[in-house]
Amino acid sequence: MSSFWNNRISISIFGEAQGSAIGVTIDNLPAGEYINADELSAFMARRNPKNIGMCRKHENTVPHIMSGIRNDRTTGSPLCAFLQNSERIAPQHSEYDRVSRIGNADYTGAVRYRGFDDVREKCNFSERLTAPLCFAGAICGQILERRGIYTGAHIYCIHNIKDNPFDPVKVSRDAIISIRRKNFPVINDRKGWLMIDDIKRAEEAGESLGGVIECAAVNVPAGIGSPIFDGLENNIAQIIFGIPGVSGLEFGAGFNASRMIGSQNNDEFYVDDRGYTVTKTNNHGGILGGISSGMPIKLNAAIKPAFTAKSKNTESQINIDPCLVPKAVPCIEAAVNIALLSHMIDYPNFC
């Protein structure tokens, strides 16, 4: 299993979902960066939406920092943190140990690891392993925010219910922060209530729902990234597709651009009243040729429904999350933070 990501900053995730602990080591962080423990805990807690009561809760929410931070400052040495799993009896899916669960990675994992992987919770593919990713992204986010760069995400849609979208040109820091403070991260609260009702109905019917998360990063300077294989989109996509349940990704206008003509898709540059070079539209999503343009970086990530399957011997439903989308919101933010910081380290006068 590839649990190591390296691009200036390196992220190494260790442990198994049903093991005693899981964790992460982050290397090449700049030294002397102030890390606010309360903000860190608040970011991690967002993986457990408070008003979706039927969702499975994650026991491991408070990270134990082993190295890399002293007196609330990064030391420059590898930052290592682990999250303790509470002791409990592991679920036994005995009837599924030899028959793959529909819509899950049981079959592919069994083939790849020749049947030696942990069948209790398919640990290598568990959403619990997003906790270390969120920790790493929260650390990177604090470092970026002290340079004025903010990343935020919201639930754009669940099933057929859509939230209001970000303004692709004028999305602001305040708009991002206001969504973070909500228990259910949507722009239009009325649409959020409808989504919650839809999730509850699906859960009662033994079904699950998917959706789309919209993410934006503001105040990213122009000139971050590289063409070809080290593009900003490349690195963001690589980390986002490491999040279980992600099934699609688009930047800016995305697939809608295929239905436009060239003059509609073009983003015209001009100099604004503050002397900044900007574009009138943002179909490119803030990235051109793998390099940031100075416009907000905007992307959409599709999250598939969790698997549903009934026991062969009973009519009872296996305990699943009726919707993974709400708890995936901070995971998408974390992925973007990690990729952005990895490129920002090369930016003049950043450190």
What is residue 6's predicted lDDT score, i.e. its pLDDT?
93
Q: Which is it for strands 69-70 and 73-74: parallel, antiparallel or unpaired?
A: antiparallel
Domains and CATH numbers, the chain: 4-344 (3.60.150.10)
For 14, how many CA atoms within 13 A lie in the half-sphere containing its CB? 11
Stated pTM of the model: 0.89
CB 282 within 8 A of CB 169: yes
What is residue 203's predicted lDDT score, i.e. its pLDDT?
92
Could you write out the DSSP letters of every residue in 96-116? GSSSPPTTSSHHHHHHHTTT-
What is residue 314's predicted lDDT score, i.e. its pLDDT?
45
CB 9 within 8 A of CB 136: no
Residue of 137, 109, 103, 138 lying closest to 122 (CA atoms): 109
What is residue 54's predicted lDDT score, i.e. its pLDDT?
47
d(CA 184, CA 212): 14
d(CA 219, CA 213): 20
Question: Of all residues in the chain, what percent carry a pLDDT higher than 70?
Answer: 83
- Would you place residue 311 in the very low, low, confident or very high pLDDT band (cuts 50, 70, 90)? very low
Across the chain, what does the average pLDDT equal?
87
Site of tokens 């919650």: 196
CB 161 within 8 A of CB 170: no
